Structure 1
């Protein structure tokens, strides 16, 4: 096979399997950090890396659905933070943990419904809607918390942080299992159902999708509602990770989730990508931060490196789309 043929075959592979490139990048990053650090491949460190990625990975899952339709959500982390405060406050006031959890998820679902309605019925750009929602939700969270974090020790709200050990030494949490099942569920919905095909079609060409009989507005609204539920589960993950509802938490969670989506091979222009790629993207972010921290790299330089990777990923996506 000639060099041109090999390049063409590689490009075809990445177009058909957008998660292939990110998966290769993750393997390379792990290999590099395992060479230059003594502790990176320790089971405890690898478990910690995965645990640190859980909240962002869950936020990124909902973000992926929205970006696949050509939209974006700048308020996902703010919605999750508000939900953690609602849950913690309700439990503090005597509400059972199960009821508090359901109401917290209901909050993020209602937010998703409002955003979806403004996008589909009022025809507002998702960027503008979620930017305004980000400001409002951030303010509401601080008002609800009255400037203070709200701790909780409710067994259900903190259940996802429960630790267990595989093979006697590999630490896992229930949150890891829930996140994996959530990803598999959304992957199945996107790749094996008519709804998933509609999501991709709307992201590729909404007018063409409408002409083929797809209810574009209904599909978009269902995506924002589904993402809202997922953001509520991200709030549950956050309380399992740190049993303290803090109005100042995850201030960059929206950008981190977008970073995971882009690094995972999902196109910011909609219609192309996969949730499995997003999971890999979230792990790439966590691996980079852990590895660079162990190498003694300043956090600001870590942000520079992450930002450069995002720009590079968007450039690659743009070039691939043009060639496609």
Structure 2
């Protein structure tokens, strides 16, 4: 027996995608240069960093948590990576070390949450503050240049290079998306993440090691934040002590705009990618319209508020 097509259900399930299409159509009417290949690639390149962080944030929010430390981890990872590149460390060693540091910092927050019962907001707020201080101590408040060794030139390609005309950061974001999509949809860890977000007590009774899963998801968030820090540092050819400020807000916004519930247990990684693209297109559109950065913050806040309201209405109607 075939199911009849329900237009209302289709719209409710695809609000982020429909919103992205409508936004792109509206901007293209305002500016014919918006849909050019160069501009679209520029949007994708600028969106890639936020998308990578947001995909890690999706794991955390699906467990009904939050991670405010991602921007600070990005900055510290970038500083460590830049200093290693400047010391002519082999590229693969520098990259792997940076990713491990990011995962370790994320796992530290996850451990505090899982084993000491500290609320995620508080634990990651403390992590954000302490790691930001660590960045300033490590850099002495000054940028760290990657230098001009051969390894530095190879490192730059990570953030500024192209493969077949596609920016390498976009390719990296695509690989991260596929990996996250597979984990959430086809692995035991993915099922556990949704189960914990749906009802942590029931998941515990069902035999899920809730504490271990929480540590893993925060480690994933930290590692992907470090990856974003690598890309940003490579593109700028230096690590800035102020890098990553307020990046956690954009990441959370992308997750929420993509339809993932802040209450946990409901959401899709594809929605997060669409949410990141909405923010990227919105930023690009406001720049094209020459809107002041102050008003851009107001506009972005209004969009996030709308997404939260729609999420609340969706939960209310599903009960």
In the superposition, the TM-score normalised over structure 1's length comes to 0.91
Report the CA distance between 1:101 and its aligned residue: 1.5
Task: Give the corresponding residue for 1:46.
Answer: 40
Measure, in 1, the Cα distance between the counterparts of 2:310 and 2:208: 30
Tell me if the contact between 2:160 and 2:235 (Cα under 8 Å) persists in the aligned partners.
Answer: no
Residue 12 of structure 1: which of 9, 12, 16 is its match? 9
Change over 3 Å in CA distance of 1:184–1:36 after alignment to 2: same
Measure, in 1, the Cα distance between the counterparts of 2:304 and 2:272: 13
1:235 paired to 2:229: yes
1:102 paired to 2:96: yes
Task: Give the corresponding residue for 1:68.
Answer: 62
What aligned pairs does 1:87-126 form with structure 2 within 5 A after superposition? 87-126=81-120
Change over 3 Å in CA distance of 1:21–1:245 after alignment to 2: same
Task: Give the corresponding residue for 1:158.
Answer: 156
1:176 paired to 2:174: no
Measure, in 1, the Cα distance between the counterparts of 2:8 and 2:297: 29
Measure, in 2, the Cα distance between the counterparts of 1:200 and 1:155: 42
1:265 paired to 2:263: no
1:313 paired to 2:307: yes
What aligned pairs does 1:152-301 form with structure 2 within 5 A after superposition? 152=146, 153=148, 154-164=152-162, 166=164, 171-301=165-295
SS of 1:265's equivalent?
A: coil
Report the CA distance between 1:14 and its aligned residue: 5.8
Change over 3 Å in CA distance of 1:163–1:99 after alignment to 2: closer
Measure, in 1, the Cα distance between the counterparts of 2:284 and 2:219: 33
Report the CA distance between 1:149 and its aligned residue: 0.9
Query: How many residue pairs are counted as aligned between the two chains?
Result: 311
Report the CA distance between 1:71 and its aligned residue: 0.4
Post-superposition Cα deviations, 1:31-56, rounded to whole Å, max 9, x if no partner, equal 00100113111111111111111111
SS of 1:260's equivalent?
A: helix
Change over 3 Å in CA distance of 1:314–1:11 after alignment to 2: farther
Report the CA distance between 1:78 and its aligned residue: 0.7
Report the CA distance between 1:94 and its aligned residue: 3.6
Measure, in 2, the Cα distance between the counterparts of 1:306 and 1:179: 22
SS of 2:155's equivalent?
A: coil
**Segments ≥4 residues shifted beyond 3 Å:** 9-15, 162-166
SS of 2:66's equivalent?
A: coil
Tell me if the contact between 2:112 and 2:123 (Cα under 8 Å) persists in the aligned partners.
Answer: yes
Tell me if the contact between 1:98 and 1:156 (Cα under 8 Å) persists in the aligned partners.
Answer: no
SS of 1:247's equivalent?
A: coil
Tell me if the contact between 2:41 and 2:167 (Cα under 8 Å) persists in the aligned partners.
Answer: no
Task: Give the corresponding residue for 1:130.
Answer: 124
For structure 1, the 5+ residue unaligned runs are: none
Measure, in 2, the Cα distance between the counterparts of 1:296 and 1:132: 37
Measure, in 2, the Cα distance between the counterparts of 1:111 and 1:67: 18
Post-superposition Cα deviations, 1:203-256, rounded to whole Å, max 9, x if no partner, equal 011011112222211211121122222122111221233222101122111111
